[in-house]
């Protein structure tokens, strides 16, 4: 498996919408039994899951989101010996180290990747996050108008 730059594809909007709406429908069925706060939590979870689903299984973060565990440790083993020493010493500054740690905590599954792949995953994650946000904004806006 090559760790080069992936094709920067655009998120598949209809697929995203389809799964998210499906989830919403299902949540809607049990709307009378759940409180609003509960429901918002479920909807948030549904948003992430549909996002990860639309992105496909190739990405580390989707794997982490959907399977509720970090990617397998073999990712580290695949790296050559000389590289491994550089994983820990991410950079010279303490500040960059802190930022890298912060980024890892933000992106799901970020702790088990080295820095360059973390950056790639972040890029992909941002793409899908923006798509999801746009979708949700649209839904909310339309329903506000409708009612």
Does the protein bind another protein through residue 88 (CB under 8 A)?
A: no
49 contacts 66 by C-beta, under 8 angstroms: yes
In the bound state with another protein, the residue whose beta carbon lies nearer, of 29 and 77, is: 29
Q: Contacts with another protein in 103-132 (CB under 8 A)?
A: 103, 106-107, 115-116, 119-120, 122-123, 125-127, 129-130, 132
Does the protein bind another protein through residue 72 (CB under 8 A)?
A: no
For 52-83, give one letter per residue: b (16+ CB within 10 A) or e: bbbbeeebbbbbbbeeeebbeeebeeeeeeee
Does the protein bind another protein through residue 31 (CB under 8 A)?
A: yes
Would you give the DSSP letter of residue 1?
A: -
Nearest-angstrom CA–CA distance, 36 and 133: 20
Nearest-angstrom CA–CA distance, 127 and 17: 15
61 contacts 109 by C-beta, under 8 angstroms: yes
Cα maximum dimension of the chain? 62
16 three-state secondary structure: helix
Q: Contacts with another protein in 3-22 (CB under 8 A)?
A: 3-8, 12-15, 17-19, 21-22
In the bound state with another protein, the residue whose beta carbon lies nearer, of 74 and 82, is: 82
Among 1, 32, 74, 88, interactor with another protein by CB under 8 A = 32
Does the protein bind another protein through residue 49 (CB under 8 A)?
A: yes
Nearest distance, CB of residue 77 and another protein, angstroms: 18
Nearest distance, CB of residue 71 and another protein, angstroms: 13
In the bound state with another protein, the residue whose beta carbon lies nearer, of 30 and 72, is: 30
Nearest distance, CB of residue 73 and another protein, angstroms: 19
């Amino acid at each position: 498996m090559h760790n080069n730059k992936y094709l920067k594809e655009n998120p598949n909007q209809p697929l995203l919408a389809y799964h998210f709406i499906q989830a919403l429908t299902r949540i809607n069925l049990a709307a009378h039994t759940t409180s609003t706060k509960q429901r918002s939590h479920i909807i948030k979870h549904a948003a992430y899951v549909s996002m990860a689903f639309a992105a496909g299984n190739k990405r580390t973060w989707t794997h982490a989101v959907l399977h509720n565990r970090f990617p397998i440790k073999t990712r580290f083993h695949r790296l050559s010996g000389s590289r491994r020493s550089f994983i820990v010493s991410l950079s010279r500054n303490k500040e960059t180290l802190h930022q890298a740690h912060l980024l890892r905590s933000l992106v799901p599954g970020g702790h088990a990747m080295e820095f360059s792949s973390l950056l790639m995953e972040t890029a992909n994650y941002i793409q899908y996050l923006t798509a999801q946000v746009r979708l949700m904004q649209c839904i909310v806006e339309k329903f506000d108008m409708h009612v």
